[in-house]
Chain A
Amino acid sequence: EAQVTQNPRYLITVTGKKLTVTCSQNMNHEYMSWYRQDPGLGLRQIYYSMNVEVTDKGDVPEGYKVSRKEKRNFPLILESPSPNQTSLYFCASSLSPTGDNSPLHFGNGTRLTVT
């Protein structure tokens, strides 16, 4: 089944403890992207990647890192999480290299709480 898989679905952590949220897609998509969803703010883009070893900042990249060493994986890293990073996170991928002509396929989300 074609899908974007994120793990974990739920994560509670403490301020400053490094964490990684994994994202993997099995559709051979070029484009991958991370978003956070907060009430009243819609989805905001954190980082995106149009190819292996190519990553770019979205609208809210501060406090996050990503890597794209393989086409299928695009992990989101929080080196020192803070409470303002408590949010619902989504990974997405698209057949289009820039995500503009083909729809985004989303994972089921990771709900992160930082205390």
Chain B
Amino acid sequence: GNSVTQMEGPVTLSEEAFLTINCTYTATGYPSLFWYVQYPGEGLQLLLKATKADDKGSNKGFEATYRKETTSFHLEKGSVQVSDSAVYFCAFNTNAGKSTFGDGTTLTVKP
């Protein structure tokens, strides 16, 4: 069946450190892939997306590349800020409407 496996958290980094959050997926076909971010007390919001193999999504300094051969969509940022502290979710929907989310990775960035 469909699944998303995310790097377990929580992750704690110092400001300006490099961030990687791993995400691998199992899906029938090649769905669009998404990273969502959830700030405390809020709903999820789109961070970035990629619609096909080798696409790179990017936003706010975050990047992720759709890797078909490794079925991965790892999230990276070169220099994190305190304001990046949040929960990050890797996810996709099938073309039949079913959603699959990872368990979420909590990131805390310390000054």
Contact = CB atoms under 8 A, between A and B. Distances in A.
Nearest to A108: B43
Interface of A: 4, 31, 33, 35, 40-45, 48, 50, 56, 58-59, 90, 92, 94, 96-101, 103-109
B89 A43 contact: yes
Given A98-B96, A99-B99, 15 more contacts: A41-B103, A42-B6, A90-B44, A94-B93, A99-B93, A100-B95, A101-B32, A101-B51, A103-B34, A103-B36, A104-B34, A104-B36, A104-B46, A106-B36, A108-B43
Interface of B: 6, 31-32, 34, 36, 42-46, 49, 51, 89, 91-99, 101-104
Contacts, number: 75
Given A43-B89, A48-B97, A100 B31 contact: yes
A50 B46 contact: no
Contacts of B102: 42
A45 B91 CA distance: 12
Contact of B99 (A45, A108, A109): A45
Given A40-B103, A42-B89, A42-B104, A98 B44 contact: no
Contacts of B92: 100
B45 A106 contact: yes
Contact of A98 (B51, B94, B101, B103): B94
A106 B44 contact: yes
14 contacts: A4-B43, A43-B104, A50-B97, A59-B98, A99-B93, A100-B31, A100-B94, A100-B97, A101-B51, A103-B36, A104-B34, A104-B44, A104-B99, A109-B43
